Structure 1
């Protein structure tokens, strides 16, 4: 019996070592202090810029989680600060962050504070072409004191399309591309298709939304990454 137990122990140790190695290999916003996302309208004009400060990062049971504080430009007169998070484990990423809101909404509600009110955005990390993903329902708040509008944002028929290298002002990233059909409540003429590029360890790199006629309604792009602290607490790009 002791021999069998020892044999089991010998076989089990590599498994533990493998699991620990896999967990240790998870890199999420490592040494990143600031991220900048820019949204553009159909004329490629900037409609908003959001600076995310990585305020903390810590290990979870299965991976890592980072907390980010978001402020809109200009920094001298920031609107309401919001806290966001990105979590990553061996299977994928979970995003609770306002940059997954379609870019056209920052233009449509330019006089209001736009935030992700609830809902988790899940992304796999392993590439499997045409992999079908679960539908998502997110709630977006558009508020101007004391009024708050809630928009329901549905992403249906989500699927992994391909892997692609994306060049941005923030750098070059190897991304997983995901396409979804979108639907808004209240009903919007912007229902259509979302195309998103995600990079392990970073999150969203690029997002383009098209209406039902195939016309681009707006784009979100990662435009800055800073790996050192600056006096304002935000990256200056």
Structure 2
């Protein structure tokens, strides 16, 4: 069960990080006070929950902009089940997210009895995107001390590429997007290695507008759309 929760956390944030514009960011509104709400659905289109993001603490140092993204997740009944915050960094013409900052104590409090070490590389997204463009891979590794033994898990985000351009309509409006395809390759004890494809729709000045996740056989397992936007 704990392993499933860690994977869920990683999946949520590897997809939802694209919710954060400054002089160095073409796609993400790193503007203090900007807020976004996404609605989550399962593979059959049934409501699963909602995620609210709010941009705070924007600071500039030379050509680097850093902002904090506050996140609250509520289930389909409106009960808040997770709250967290993490940092975005925009440097030059690339936005980065620090995975270690996402795996904070609040999110991992259910593993209080376990010592967890998280390492990895940031996901990067440049301002200039064109169809067919390949993007850098990223990875996250977790080592959890289970009292006498260590559980190791690795999640690689691979085969990232700009797949196409597409217009998307959501309750928040109509958006011209680029579509980024990627695969999350997970390796866990007793589960082996599995690949989970996903697609993200990005709009300039907005960030993520839509996201779809699939199981290893290509069946849609969840989706998320932008339902509210305030800048």
Smaller-chain TM-score bracket: 0.5 to 0.7
1:217 equivalent to 2:227? Answer no
Instruction: Calculate the TM-score normalised by the size of structure 2.
Output: 0.63
Q: How far 1:190 sits from its partner (Å)?
A: 6.4
Are the structure 2 counterparts of residues 222 and 197 from structure 1 closer, same or farther at C-alpha, using a change threshold of 3 Å?
A: same
- 1:1-237 superposed matches below 5 A: 24=23, 26=25, 28-30=29-31, 32-73=33-74, 78-96=80-98, 119=120, 120-138=122-140, 152-186=154-188, 187=191, 191-227=195-231
Are the structure 2 counterparts of residues 208 and 60 from structure 1 closer, same or farther at C-alpha, using a change threshold of 3 Å?
A: farther
Per-residue deviation, residues 134-170 of structure 1 (Å, max 9, x unmatched): 21113589xxxxxxx9853322121111222222222
Contact 2:96–2:123, Cα closer than 8 Å, also in 1: yes
Q: Which runs of 5+ in 1 are unaligned?
A: 1-22, 101-111, 142-148, 228-237
Are the structure 2 counterparts of residues 211 and 79 from structure 1 closer, same or farther at C-alpha, using a change threshold of 3 Å?
A: closer
Larger Rg: 1 or 2? Answer: 1
Per-residue deviation, residues 150-208 of structure 1 (Å, max 9, x unmatched): 85332212111122222222222332211123211224796232111223333222211
Q: Secondary structure at the match of 1:44?
A: coil
2:4 counterpart residue number: none
Counterpart CA distance in 1 for 2:176 and 2:52 is: 22
Question: What is the CA RMSD across the aligned residues, in angstroms?
Answer: 3.5
Are the structure 2 counterparts of residues 96 and 174 from structure 1 closer, same or farther at C-alpha, using a change threshold of 3 Å?
A: farther
Counterpart CA distance in 1 for 2:196 and 2:202 is: 20
Are the structure 2 counterparts of residues 80 and 31 from structure 1 closer, same or farther at C-alpha, using a change threshold of 3 Å?
A: closer
Counterpart CA distance in 2 for 1:81 and 1:96 is: 17
Q: Which runs of 5+ in 2 are unaligned?
A: 1-21, 103-109, 112-117, 144-150
Instruction: Calculate the TM-score normalised by the size of structure 1.
Output: 0.62
Q: How far 1:45 sits from its partner (Å)?
A: 1.3
